[in-house]
């Protein structure tokens, strides 16, 4: 079983600093290309929130040898799929395509890594600003409870913290981004020395190395380094926020400061989230959704990033039920775990589920490629699957009790969203 | 080394890909099994696909099938709901139930080492669900609350109102799977039990499976589990009443909405292999992928949306065509007129280049559709829903490459007729009405979130 998640990769660095990770897997005639640029919304300037994400859009607008709209079209014509995504810590770009078209993907990725700037125009920028504004409206402003996370982040993190603003950015900031801002962002962050490239699938290593050398080696690197030193995060007292919205049901959110990715308690926080709300017989689901029926749903989760981490619990009240009662139940369960810990069966259920999910996640070559980049980004070791699983397997009831006293027993942020009129 | 980047690199030799073999067998009790062996990982995934979707909901009990899907895993055999959930979790096995218009599917995904135990639990849920009264009441309240939450989701409201209009109220696909408030209220405990007894029978179900084992091994395990499942009654045939869809513009008011959710389309026939391939390619060009006409126009040229797409959705006994997008309220009129323009334009015909692009893209993309275990069971699921012939997937790329330009153009001319369109817009009514100019031959109506007319408009 263990060797299924032991990935036999090869890693090397080009002289311009680009890290390259190759992984051969001939299960299907497919190749996955996955690039991480080590810049995300954490790198946005305060008055230019949404910059990293808008930049991701500009990367699909063509480059020196690729006309607008043709980046997508070339990959699709080859029978491939593609996209990109931006989060706090990084931006990624990926393609999955028939293995015989690998060179096409490397040509496209290298063209925009090296030669994007000459083809940027105000017209393209204006167009994508409008697209991104609509993305924000569709995914956040026009969704029920859609602004909750951005309110939580803004209040959880102090001024100057890299996670204080939403990845998508604020509308007024998105609109104000200029062509010079885009160019500056590119020149700072989109250098080979700030990126890592994973190529996985039905590839031949030697041939692939030649292609990587051919397309990426001549791209100039830069010497820019940005040191982000986040201000300390600590809440001195509880922050309580009430908000009215056009929604049917009340919802309550709690957020606590925790640890960064791969810090000691990171895996245990994931397991705690699962024990609280991951299944029908989890602590909170059973108590407030299944038995007392005061909540329609409850959801706990942990996020650990490069600069900080938070633990959240969210629950939607049943019609006519009070958020106060839900809050009492949540805190009484947390106190109970702090006093008594969790039992062996609860731990085993979580750990067995996590073990299966590691194996289930090996089905997609593109998700393996992205995970190799993820581990490499945080740990400088792409093949961390087994060690990562071991982190979860070693979580004990005592560690979970420590989490409760060290993190969840501290001041928190509470957000309540209620219907704006009596229904 | 300076390289010439001006030319797009050519592919290496064409790759070889063999479509996996589909085994088909029938257990002694009449349960049909479709299976694909896949040995890349120690995983087995299977779904019991029961012909028991919301299309069987009685007119005054909309939401019945979905409520059975909610209830069926709330305890089985000697396990109550919580114990049953624990048993799956202890195995690290994922189990889920879903209900759609045509089918209820129960899906299990397990590591091979836990196959036998997982399948025993799976069998228990299917053949001996408790369906207890107290669980029924709780799940009914949960469904009812979900119906309240549904009102908050503009995309879901737009889709459901669209369905209620393009299929008339007596049509089995007219209401959403979750049902209606009055429908769920009317459902009694005995209704759910009757529904289960009538429809959860082997000859009304198909097991679709993909996994790392031989078909003989699978057959052995099934013979001692699902093979013992006995039929109780014979299922009555589904009555489908013919219906014509509404045309016109239908506005659903959502106060303070900052965008309009737009769906434009009409009712179609069920999937028919005689025109399926032509329509599929046609839709790719129109709105079926990123580089389609509609998306490039509304997103990459006008910048008025994050995305716009079109789709043929086929059910077992019918179908629908729709274009959907979301735009700022002030851009609603522009979006609607541009979509109508594209629908009229494509009737004139497509170019050879567009067809070649769609064909090569689809054919080359084909192997990636067989990558994961869910991909494979999904393909088998489609075979069941649309009664595809056994060689459907094997002949797919050949059929696509045989499609001719004149066939697609004929299909385009016949298919899209802007006179029959139903346009649903979920938006802030007062703001919308100010910016919406009259559109030829489209009357404007206001409806509520279930598609019922609102009188004072």
What's the confidence (pLDDT) of residue A346?
Answer: 98
Is pLDDT of A174 > 60? yes
Q: For residue A144, give how far its alpha carbon lies from the nearest alpha carbon of chain B (Å).
A: 6
Q: What is the mean pLDDT of residues A188-200?
A: 97
Is pLDDT of A98 > 90? yes
pLDDT digits (tens, 9 = 90+) for A217-231: 999 998 777 889 998
Q: What is the ipTM of this complex?
A: 0.95
What's the confidence (pLDDT) of residue A423?
Answer: 55
Contact partners, residue B201, CB within 8 Å, separation at least 6: B231, B232, B233, B234, B235
Query: Fold match between B22-228 and B248-447?
Result: yes
pLDDT digits (tens, 9 = 90+) for A276-287: 999 999 999 999
Size of interface A-B (CB pairs under 8 A): 213
Q: For residue A234, give how far its alpha carbon lies from the nearest alpha carbon of chain B (Å).
A: 35
Q: What is the mean pLDDT of chain A?
A: 96
Grouping H, G, I as helix, E, B as strand and the rest as coil, residue A297 is strand
What's the confidence (pLDDT) of residue B237?
Answer: 61
A393 lies within 8 A of chain B by CB? no
What's the confidence (pLDDT) of residue B3?
Answer: 87
Please name the residues between 191 and 210 in chain A that touch chain B, using a CB distance below 8 Å: 202
Please state the domain extents for chain B: 22-228, 248-447
Is 3.30.830.10 the CATH classification of the domain at B248-447? yes
Q: For residue B203, give how far its alpha carbon lies from the nearest alpha carbon of chain A (Å).
A: 31
CATH architecture, range B22-228: 2-Layer Sandwich (3.30)
pLDDT digits (tens, 9 = 90+) for A225-253: 788 999 889 999 999 999 999 999 999 99
Handedness of CA A279, A285, A287, A291 (dihedral sign): negative
> Using an 8 Å Cβ cutoff, are B215 and B26 in contact?
no
- Distance CA(B11)–CA(A78), nearest Å, equals 9
Instruction: Write out the CATH class of domain A2-216.
Output: alpha beta
Contact partners, residue A174, CB within 8 Å, separation at least 6: A49, A50, A54, A129, A132, A133, A136, A168
User: Which of B13, B81, B299 has the CB atom closest to A280's CB atom?
Assistant: B81
Confidence of residue A3 (pLDDT cuts 50, 70, 90): confident
Cβ-defined contact of B89 to A281 (cutoff 8 Å): yes
Place of tokens 């019922």: B452
Cβ-defined contact of B367 to A100 (cutoff 8 Å): no
Cβ-defined contact of B94 to A360 (cutoff 8 Å): yes
Is pLDDT of A378 > 70? yes
Is 3.30.830.10 the CATH classification of the domain at A239-419? yes
Q: For residue A219, give how far its alpha carbon lies from the nearest alpha carbon of chain B (Å).
A: 10
HEC string of chain B equals CCCCCCCCCCCCCCCCCCCCCEEEEECCCCCEEEEEECCCCCEEEEEEEECCCHHHCCCCCCCHHHHHHHHCCCEECCEEHHHHHHHHHHCCCEEEEEECCCCEEEEEEEEHHHHHHHHHHHHHHHHCECCCHHHHHHHHHHHHHHHHHHCCCHHHHHHHHHHHHHCCCCCCCCCCCCCCHHHHHHCCHHHHHHHHHHHCCHHHEEEEEEECCCHHHHHHHHHCCHHHCCCCCCCCCCCCCCCCCCCEEEEEECCCCCEEEEEEEEEECCCCHHHHHHHHHHHHHHCCCCCCHHHHHHHHHCCCEEEEEEEEEECCCCEEEEEEEEEEHHHHHHHHHHHHHHHHHHHHCCCHHHHHHHHHHHHHHHHHHHCCHHHHHHHHHHHHHHCCCCCHHHHHHHHHHHCCHHHHHHHHHHHCCHHHCEEEEEECHHHHHHHCCCCCCCCEEEECCCCCECCCC
Cβ-defined contact of B81 to A141 (cutoff 8 Å): no
pLDDT tens track, chain B, 457 positions: 678 999 999 999 888 899 999 999 999 999 999 999 999 999 999 999 999 999 999 999 999 999 999 999 999 999 999 999 999 999 999 999 999 999 999 999 999 999 999 999 999 999 999 999 999 999 999 999 999 999 999 999 999 999 999 998 788 999 999 999 999 999 999 999 999 999 999 999 999 999 999 999 999 999 999 999 987 666 666 666 667 788 999 999 999 999 999 999 999 999 999 999 999 999 999 999 999 999 999 999 999 999 999 999 999 999 999 999 999 999 999 999 999 999 999 999 999 999 999 999 999 999 999 999 999 999 999 999 999 999 999 999 999 999 999 999 999 999 988 888 999 999 999 999 988 888 878 999 999 999 999 965 5
B448 lies within 8 A of chain A by CB? no
Please state the domain extents for chain A: 2-216, 239-419
The residue among A81, A94, A134, A345 with the most chain B CBs within 10 A of its CB, best to mutate, is: A134
Predicted TM-score (pTM) of this structure? 0.96
Cβ-defined contact of A217 to B1 (cutoff 8 Å): yes
B117 lies within 8 A of chain A by CB? no
In chain B, residues with a C-beta closer than 8 Å to the C-beta of A248 are 148-149, 151-152
Q: Give which of A374, A366, A373, A368 is closest to A83, Cα–Cα.
A: A366
């Amino acid at each position: 079983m263990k060797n299924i998640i032991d990935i036999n990769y090869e890693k090397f660095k080009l002289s311009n600093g680009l890290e390259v990770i190759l992984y051969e897997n001939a299960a299907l005639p497919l190749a996955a290309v996955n690039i991480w640029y080590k810049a995300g919304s954490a790198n946005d300037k305060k008055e230019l929130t949404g910059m990293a994400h808008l930049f991701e859009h500009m990367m699909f607008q063509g480059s020196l040898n690729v006309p607008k709209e043709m980046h997508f079209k070339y990959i699709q014509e080859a029978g491939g799929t593609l996209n990109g995504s931006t989060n706090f810590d990084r931006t990624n770009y990926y393609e999955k395509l028939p293995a015989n078209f690998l060179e096409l993907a490397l040509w496209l990725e290298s063209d925009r890594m090296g030669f994007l700037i000459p083809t940027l125009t105000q017209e393209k920028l204006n167009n994508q600003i409008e697209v991104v504004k609509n993305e924000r409206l569709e995914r956040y402003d026009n969704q029920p409870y859609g602004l909750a996370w951005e309110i939580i982040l803004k209040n959880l993190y102090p001024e100057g913290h890299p996670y204080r603003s939403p990845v998508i950015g604020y509308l007024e900031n998105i609109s104000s981004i200029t062509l010079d801002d885009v160019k500056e962002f590119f020149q700072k962050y989109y250098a080979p020395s700030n990126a890592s490239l994973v190529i996985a699938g039905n590839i031949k290593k030697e041939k692939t190395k030649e292609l990587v050398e051919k397309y990426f080696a001549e791209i100039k690197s830069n010497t820019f380094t940005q040191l982000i030193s986040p201000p300390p995060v600590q809440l001195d007292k509880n922050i309580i926020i009430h908000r009215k919205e056009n929604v049917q049901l009340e919802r309550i959110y709690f957020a606590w400061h925790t640890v960064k990715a791969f810090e000691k308690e990171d895996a245990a926080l994931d397991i705690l989230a699962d024990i609280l709300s991951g299944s029908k017989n989890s602590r909170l689901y059973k108590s407030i959704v299944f038995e007392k029926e005061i909540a329609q749903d409850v959801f706990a989760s942990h996020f650990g990033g490069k600069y900080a981490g938070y633990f959240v619990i969210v629950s939607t009240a049943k019609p006519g039920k009070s958020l106060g009662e839900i809050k009492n139940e949540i805190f009484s369960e947390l106190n109970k775990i702090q006093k008594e810990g969790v039992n062996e069966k609860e731990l085993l259920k979580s750990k067995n589920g996590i073990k299966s999910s590691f194996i289930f996640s090996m089905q997609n070559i593109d998700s393996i490629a992205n995970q190799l980049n993820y581990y490499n980004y945080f740990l400088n070791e792409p093949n961390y699957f087994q060690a990562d699983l071991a982190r979860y397997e070693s979580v004990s009831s005592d560690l979970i009790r420590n989490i409760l006293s060290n993190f969840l027993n501290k001041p928190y942020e509470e957000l309540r969203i209620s219907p704006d009129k009596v229904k | 080394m300076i390289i010439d980047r001006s030319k797009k690199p050519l592919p290496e030799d064409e790759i070889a890909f063999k479509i996996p073999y589909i085994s088909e067998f029938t257990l002694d009790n009449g349960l049909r099994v479709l299976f694909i062996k896949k040995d890349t990982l120690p995983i087995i995934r299977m779904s019991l696909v029961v012909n028991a979707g919301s299309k069987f909901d009685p007119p005054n009990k909309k939401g019945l099938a979905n409520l059975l899907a909610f209830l069926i895993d709330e305890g089985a055999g000697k396990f109550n709901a919580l114990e049953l959930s624990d048993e799956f979790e202890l195995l690290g096995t994922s189990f889920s139930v879903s209900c759609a218009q045509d089918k209820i599917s129960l899906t299990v995904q397990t590591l091979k080492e836990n196959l036998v135990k997982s399948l025993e639990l799976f069998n228990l849920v299917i053949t001996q669900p408790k369906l207890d009264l107290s669980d029924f009441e709780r799940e009914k309240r949960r469904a009812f609350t979900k119906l309240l939450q549904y009102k908050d989701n503009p995309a879901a409201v737009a889709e459901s109102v669209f369905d209620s209009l393009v299929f008339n109220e007596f049509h089995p696909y007219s209401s959403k799977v979750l049902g209606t408030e009055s429908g769920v209220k009317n459902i009694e405990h005995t209704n759910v039990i009757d529904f289960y007894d009538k429809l959860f029978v082997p000859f009304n179900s198909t097991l679709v499976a993909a996994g790392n084992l031989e078909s003989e091994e699978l057959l052995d395990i099934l013979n001692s589990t699902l093979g013992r499942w006995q039929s109780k009654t014979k299922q009555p045939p589904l009555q489908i009443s013919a219906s014509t869809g509404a045309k016109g513009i239908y506005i659903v008011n959502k106060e303070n909405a900052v965008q309009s959710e737009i769906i434009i389309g009409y009712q179609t026939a069920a999937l028919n292999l005689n025109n399926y391939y032509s329509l599929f390619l046609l839709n790719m060009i129109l709105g079926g992928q990123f580089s389609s006409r509609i998306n490039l126009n509304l997103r990459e040229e006008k910048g008025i949306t994050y995305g716009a797409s079109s789709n043929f959705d086929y059910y077992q006994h019918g179908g629908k065509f729709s274009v959907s997008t979301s735009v700022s309220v002030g851009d609603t009129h522009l979006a609607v007129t541009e979509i109508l323009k594209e629908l009229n334009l494509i009737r004139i015909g497509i170019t050879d280049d567009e067809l070649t692009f769609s064909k090569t893209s689809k054919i080359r993309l084909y192997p990636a559709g067989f990558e994961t275990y869910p991909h494979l069971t999904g393909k088998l699921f489609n075979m069941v829903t649309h009664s595809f012939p056994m060689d459907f997937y094997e002949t797919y790329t050949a059929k696509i490459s045989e499609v001719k330009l004149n066939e697609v153009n004929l299909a385009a001319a016949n298919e899209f007729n802007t006179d029959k369109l139903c346009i649903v817009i979920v938006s802030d009514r007062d703001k919308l009405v100010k910016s919406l100019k009259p559109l030829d031959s489209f009357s404007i109506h206001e409806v509520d979130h279930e598609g019922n007319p609102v009188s004072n408009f």
